[in-house]
Amino acid sequence: MSAFSRFTPLVQSLPATVPFVGPEAIERQRGRQIAARIGANESGFGPADSVLLAIQRAAGETWKYADPENYDLRHALAAHLGASPAHIAVGEGIDGLLGQIVRLVVEQGTPVVTSLGGYPTFNYHVAGHGGRLVTVPFVDDREDLDGLLAAVRREAAPLVYFANPDNPMGSWWPAERVIEFAAALPETTLLILDEAYCETAPLEALPSIESLIDRPNVIRTRTFSKAYGLAGARVGYALTTPGTAQAFDKIRNHFGMNRIGVAAAIAALSDQQYLKDVTQRIAASRDRIAGIARDSGLLPLSSATNFVAVDCGRDAVYARAVVDRLMSDHGVFVRMPGVSPLNRCIRISTGPDAEMELLGAALPAVLRSLTGG
Ligand SMILES: Cc1ncc(COP(=O)(O)O)c(C=O)c1O
């Protein structure tokens, strides 16, 4: 294939990949519709009715760009979190913010520390900016805070990424350990504390806002994609000191926010009753997935997120076969971790009863077909 010859050497060296093959691409590849979309950690419960109304109202205004200062959303977030708007930067989902943070810190060859098997989109951005990933294995299916700290010190790394709760295993560290970890980092190392799943996590997993808000080298990232049910709206935010938050203004796409998405996020924040209800439904669905897994002789790992990692008890080849057969034979879309030993597991997102029924029927059938039982 011929391509323009004057792309940068970095771009020329990169593979043309995306971190995740999307469910729509999987449908096209398999020539089969997805019946249960429980693989991408979206929320099949959807957003609140009040949010859908706000989206309808905003639709007629979509000829207007969104406010480039994101004034209303930042003020609504500040009121919700007990911070000031200056502490908040808004972006196109956490994924967009991760790209911006990497751009702020990473140059060619910069060492960047993360967990082996941690969130792949972060790695994608690091590679895209020429950084050198330094990975630390999970220990007992949890991110290894001591290992991450040791790697930061050894490499004098200016950037470290840690998700709490984490994807893909759904595990979490208590707030005190997270705060200790942040305090132990050199001031010249920026911590991305990715809290994509904060709404579904136990309170003990979440450092208070005050505990980290004065640290210029800590950015907490959060999203409306998970519990709020707005993955397609692409709204996320970063919480940090006003000085660090301002750095985003130097590089961000000022008209990058989707006006309808911003309206949806503001409405979602003001419907905390829905959030309360939906997080209960997510927790019940986690229990249901765990029960379905156990009934099939598999081991569900405990989870603080909107998904459950299920240990299939064998190797990655077997787990891959389970994932493939769920999709090809039953239209049940799930995913699995990318590296050993995490990839003995499959990862199933929570969802409404209809999806859980399909999973409950498909999983035992797939296991029987694979083991000849
Ligand atoms: C740990 C983690 N961070 C970020 C994201 C993406 O969030 P957003 O939709 O806001 O880009 C995900 C989604 O799966 C995730 O698991």
DSSP 91-114: ESHHHHHHHHHHHHH--TT-EEEE
**pLDDT for residue 21 is more than 90:** no
Cis bond upstream, residue 165 (ω within 30): yes
And the tokens for 243? Answer: 């000085």
pLDDT at position 20 is 79
Instruction: Provide the 10 A C-beta neighbour count for residue 132.
Output: 14
How far is the centre of ligand 1, averaged over its atoms, from the C-alpha of 196 (Å)? 6
Q: Say how many Å lie between the CA of residue 40 and the centre of ligand 1.
A: 9
Distance 272 CA to ligand 1 centre (A): 21
49-271, CATH topology level: Aspartate Aminotransferase; domain 2 (3.40.640)
Give the pair of three-digit tokens for residue 324.
């493939």
Give residue-wise pLDDT tens across range 37-94.
999 999 999 999 999 999 999 999 999 999 999 999 999 999 999 999 999 999 999 9
pLDDT of residue 81: 97
Q: What percentage of the chain has pLDDT greater than the value 70?
A: 100
**Residues ≥6 apart with Cβ < 8 Å to 18:** 124
- The owner of tokens 């011929």 is 2
Residue nearest to atom 2 of ligand 1 (CA): 196
Identify which of 92, 98, 121, 335 to mutate to test ligand 1's pocket (most ligand atoms within 8 A of the CB).
121
Q: Rounded to the nearest whole angstrom, what is the distance from the C-alpha of residue 73 to the centroid of ligand 1?
A: 19
Pair 240, 218: CB distance under 8 Å: yes
Q: What is the pLDDT of residue 350?
A: 98
> Using an 8 Å Cβ cutoff, are 164 and 179 in contact?
no
Report pLDDT digits (tens) over 322-345.
Answer: 999 999 999 999 999 999 999 999
Question: Which atom of ligand 1 has the smallest separation from the CA of 168?
Answer: 16
Comparing CA positions, the residue from 309, 292, 307, 265 lying closest to residue 361 is 292
Closest CA to 357 of 105, 36, 121, 74: 36
| Ligand 1 pocket test, candidate residues 37, 42, 115, 119, most atoms within 8 A of CB | 119
Query: Which residues have C-beta atoms less than 6 Å from ligand 1?
Result: 41, 93-95, 119, 163, 167, 194, 196, 223, 225, 231, 236
Distance 94 CA to ligand 1 centre (A): 6
Q: Which of 95, 143, 164, 171 is the pocket-test mutation for ligand 1 (most atoms within 8 Å of CB)?
A: 95
Flag whether pLDDT at 169 surpasses 80.
yes
Distance from residue 69's CA to the centre of ligand 1 (Å) = 23
Atom of ligand 1 nearest to the CA of 225: 9
Mean pLDDT of 187-201: 98
Cβ(288)–Cβ(150) under 8 Å? no
Pocket test for ligand 1, best of 42, 164, 223 (most atoms within 8 A of CB): 223
Q: How many angstroms separate the most distant Cα atoms in the chain? A: 61
Nearest CA to ligand 1 atom 16: 167
Q: Is the pLDDT of residue 19 over 90?
A: no
Provide, rounded to the nearest whole percent, the portion of the chain with pLDDT above 90.
96
Mean pLDDT for 239-254 is: 97
Question: How much is the pLDDT for 204?
Answer: 97
Residues 49, 199 contacting (CB under 8 angstroms): no
Predicted confidence band of residue 158 (pLDDT cuts 50, 70, 90):
very high
- Atom 13 (ligand 1): residue with closest C-alpha? 41
pLDDT recorded at residue 345: 98
pLDDT tens-digit series, residues 268-281: 999 999 999 999 99
Ligand 1 atom closest to residue 96's alpha carbon, by position in its atom list:
11
Res 372: pLDDT? 81
Q: Confidence class of residue 373 from pLDDT cuts 50, 70 and 90?
A: low
Averaged pLDDT for residues 103-110:
98
Question: Residue 143 in contact with residue 134, Cβ under 8 Å?
Answer: no
Ligand 1: nearest atom to the Cα of 41: 14
CATH of 9-46+273-371, one of 3.90.1150.10, 3.40.50.720, 3.90.650.10, 2.40.30.10: 3.90.1150.10
Q: How far is the CA of 372 from the centre of ligand 1 (A)?
A: 37
Structure confidence at residue 116 as a pLDDT band (50, 70, 90):
very high
Average pLDDT over the chain, rounded to whole?
A: 97
| Non-local CB neighbours of 286 within 8 Å, separated by 6+ positions | 303, 306, 308, 350
Check pLDDT > 70 for residue 197: yes
Q: Cβ(8)–Cβ(243) under 8 Å?
A: no
Q: State which amino acid sits at residue 185.
A: L
Q: How is the chain split into domains, by residue range?
A: 9-46+273-371, 49-271
* Chain segment 291-312, per-residue pLDDT in tens: 999 999 999 999 999 999 999 9
